[in-house]
Amino acid sequence: MKVLVPVKRVIDYNVKVRVKADQTGVDLANVKMSMNPFDEICVEEAVRLKEKGKATEVVAVSIGPAQASETIRTALAMGADRGILVKVDGDVEPLAVAKILKGIVEAEQPGLVILGKQAIDDDSNQTGQMLAALLGWPQGTFAHKLELGEGTARIEREIDGGLQTVEVKTPAIMTVDLRLNEPRYASLPNIMKAKKKPIDDKTPADYGVDTAPRLKVLKVTEPPKRQAGVKVKTVAELVDKLKNEAGVLP
Amino acid sequence: MTSLVIAEHDNKTLKEQTAKAVTAAAQLGAPVHVLVAGQDAGAVADAAAKLAGVEKVLLADDAQYAKLVAESVEALILSLADKYDAILAPATTNGKNYLPRVAAKLDVPQISEILKVVSPDTFERPIYAGNAIQTVQAPEGKKVITVRTTAFKAAEATGSASVEKISAAADPGISKFVGEELSKSERPELTSAKIVISGGRGMQSGDNFHLLDKIADKLHAAVGASRAAVDAGFVPNDYQVGQTGKVVAPELYIAVGISGAIQHLAGMKDSKVIAAINKDEEAPIFQVADYGLVADLFKALPEMEEELTKLGY
Ligand SMILES: Cc1cc2nc3c(=O)[nH]c(=O)nc-3n(C[C@H](O)[C@H](O)[C@H](O)COP(=O)(O)OP(=O)(O)OC[C@H]3O[C@@H](n4cnc5c(N)ncnc54)[C@H](O)[C@@H]3O)c2cc1C
Ligand SMILES: Nc1ncnc2c1ncn2[C@@H]1O[C@H](COP(=O)(O)O)[C@@H](O)[C@H]1O
């Protein structure tokens, strides 16, 4: 079974983002970019499936600018076999990403597509679910644990009240949550090896997808700022302020 | 035309998140219907019918909806979609699970986690863990929206809409619910509690969360946690507050042994009052806290419990 892992290039999660003064977006100039943290978990899970003999090949896909090839290289260094870069400049909305991924799925015929539950830039949490719907496939979102059976997958999911297990027929879509696994660091020899692994260059037109944004971003602004308050010296003072100054104790 | 809100419930009670999504839907300016998909969920439909501003409740009562499995709910909503201009769900793990499927099938973008309805086609939503707010205008056509419920007031239970039974859609039969392990707690739910007290890595162990529990019991508070505390196995996953956990906005949020990473702040910085207890006076949490106490939590928490007892809590 082939496993497809979509990986997105995003602002590194440690970077404090700055909203541009002209309110057109956030400042991406000279900012460190990395693989979306959830997508590292996807790659790790796919590579583990291969190591366990459950997957035959792991294909990493990224939709983005030319530099997204670095994100694919990271996946290759972690153990993915080859990459597909669908080159697009500018923002691509989840629906267009899902349509491109559908085209890739039809060409590659994977048994499982593992996506992140959310990209930490747009915080959309949509792409995997949209891809599943477009393909008419079942999904196990926010995965905490995966067990592959014969033609099925049992996925334990992180939900609001705790954990839930669903069983889906494969081929299927899975989106991962933080505690599915702990992604490995690529070793130096594997980083070197990754340089020789193939990356196919594609365009959205190859899949007949129009990536023009459908949502119009009117502006991007800073959220209201919270001011630091006061430091209190003792627990008694804290309780007193909460009760009598802020009035928030019952 | 009309807006449709998908109800969040557990087949017995209607969750407050639904009442909040109804408020957001009402701001679109069109009549609001609520869909209750469930099993033996008549009481939920009756509760939804009482929400102010709701014109009609649709009840699809069928075994396949007992757990709101995404593929089944998708098929049901799509069978109704023709009659609606806008389809909204609270941004719970259920809403996030099924609604993007609906959007994709309708070939429209989903607008995730709206914070504000600026006009019937324009919305504010957070990006980059809430470090930026995007104002987006939806294209012509149907709108598919998830609602960040902490940003809207709950519709009151002063209405009296009718409940109409509708038939189930064909079960897609590609996935099934196997089981669940729900955290049991006598305390209020994190997302609706007036007071939340959360612990971080500084708590050192799950056992030590009892120090927070004791205070939570006195204040009728919910107990939350940082990702670090959940990853370390101190508490279950559903305690996590943050960008990728739950978003809370209580009257009072008390952060204990939490450093204040942006991903954590994303889930609690809209709380009315924030108090923080941390032994590191440089901890970033103090930059957003209204009241900061630099102290060892193992000393401060028992003292706090005692102080509250003294005051009659
Ligand atoms: C993709 C992604 C998503 C994430 N999502 C979330 C999320 O949803 N929610 C979330 O919380 N995090 C999230 N994180 C993690 C986040 O970046 C931080 O790592 C995490 O919030 C840190 O948790 P913490 O504050 O408990 O731990 P630490 O940062 O280790 O802080 C512990 C604090 O406890 C204090 N302390 C220690 N001992 C004591 C004591 N005895 N008395 C008083 N104070 C003490 C220390 O001074 C320190 O400030 C995410 C990260 C990524 C990459
Ligand atoms: N441009 C992209 N390229 C590759 N994968 C993507 C892209 N956008 C989204 N994804 C995948 O979809 C997941 C969820 O993204 P989102 O729906 O935008 O929050 C990510 O974690 C990725 O696995």
Question: In this predicted model, what pLDDT tens digit does every residue of A76-88 receive, in sequence order?
Answer: 999 999 999 999 9
Does A175 reach chain B within 8 Å, measured CB to CB? no
b/e for B281-313, b at 16 or more Cβ within 10 A? eebbbbbbbbbbbbbebeebbeebbebbeeeeb
pTM for the complete prediction?
Answer: 0.97
Question: In this predicted model, what pLDDT tens digit does every residue of B134-178 receive, in sequence order?
Answer: 999 999 999 999 999 999 999 999 999 999 999 999 999 999 999
Q: Could you tell me the distance, in angstroms and rounded to a whole number, from the CA of residue B228 to the centre of ligand 1?
A: 5
Contact (Cβ atoms closer than 8 angstroms) between residue A168 and residue A155: yes
Q: Could you tell me the distance, in angstroms and rounded to a whole number, from the CA of residue A7 to the centre of ligand 2?
A: 6
- Min Cα distance B164 → chain A (Å) is 28
Site to probe by mutation for ligand 1, drawn from A34, A122, A158, A178 as the one with most ligand atoms within 8 Å of Cβ, is A178
Average pLDDT of span A179-199: 97
CATH 3.20.20.70, applies to B190-310: no
> Residue B61: what pLDDT?
98
The first and second tokens of residue A135, run together, are 């393909």
pLDDT at B41 over 90: yes
Interhelix angle A94-108/B93-106, nearest 10 degrees? 80
Question: In this predicted model, what pLDDT tens digit does every residue of B232-247 receive, in sequence order?
Answer: 999 999 999 999 999 9
Question: In percent, how much of chain A has pLDDT > 90?
Answer: 97
Does A209 reach chain B within 8 Å, measured CB to CB? no
Size of interface A-B (CB pairs under 8 A): 261
Q: Which CATH class is domain B3-165?
A: alpha beta
> Residue B80: what pLDDT?
98
Of the candidates B127, B231, B290, which has its C-beta nearest A122's C-beta? Answer: B127
Residue for token pair 């809430």: B130
> Residue B1: what pLDDT?
82
**Dist CA B109 CA B130 (whole Å):** 20
Average pLDDT of span B189-209: 96
pLDDT at A93 over 90: yes
Average pLDDT of span B49-61: 98
Of the candidates A129, A134, A248, which has its C-beta nearest B97's C-beta? Answer: A129
> Residue B193: what pLDDT?
95
> Residue B185: what pLDDT?
83
> Going edge to edge, which strands form the sheet with A152-159?
A199-202, A82-87, A57-64, A2-6, A112-116, A172-176, A139-148, A152-159, A162-169, B175-182
pLDDT at B201 over 90: yes
Q: Could you tell me the distance, in angstroms and rounded to a whole number, from the CA of residue B64 to the centre of ligand 2?
A: 30
Average pLDDT of span B74-96: 98
Query: Which residues share a beta bridge with B47?
Result: none
Atom of ligand 2 at shortest range from CA of A128: 12
CB contact under 8 Å between B178 and A217, yes or no, is no
Of the candidates B134, B178, B246, which has its C-beta nearest A167's C-beta? Answer: B178
CB contact under 8 Å between B135 and A220, yes or no, is yes
Residues of A in Cβ contact (< 8 Å) with B172: 138
> Residue B178: what pLDDT?
96
Q: Do domains B3-165 and B190-310 have the same CATH topology?
A: yes
pLDDT at B226 over 90: yes
Atom of ligand 2 at shortest range from CA of A38: 21
CB contact under 8 Å between B102 and A133, yes or no, is yes
- The full DSSP string for chain A is -EEEEE--EEE-TTS---B-TTSSSB--TT--EEE-HHHHHHHHHHHHHHHTTS-SEEEEEEEESTTHHHHHHHHHHHT--EEEEEE--S---HHHHHHHHHHHHHHH--SEEEEES--TTT----HHHHHHHHHT--EEEEEEEEEE-SSEEEEEEEETTEEEEEEEESSEEEEE-TTS--PPPPPHHHHHHHTTS-EEEE-GGGGT-----SSEEEEEEPPPPPPP-EEESSHHHHHHIIIIIS----
Domain boundaries, chain B: 3-165, 190-310
Of the candidates A142, A221, A249, which has its C-beta nearest B133's C-beta? Answer: A221
Q: How confident is the model at residue B64 (pLDDT cuts 50, 70, 90)?
A: very high
The ligand that comes nearest to the alpha carbon of residue A37 is 1
Ligand 2 atom 1: the closest Cα is on which residue? Answer: A63
Average pLDDT of span A35-48: 98
Torsional sign, CA A88, B110, A16, A221: positive
- Min Cα distance A25 → chain B (Å) is 8
Where does B156-267 have alpha helices with state H?
209-219, 227-231, 262-265
> CB of B160 closer than 6 A to ligand 1?
no
> Residue B183: what pLDDT?
87
Torsional sign, CA A139, A124, A47, A177: negative
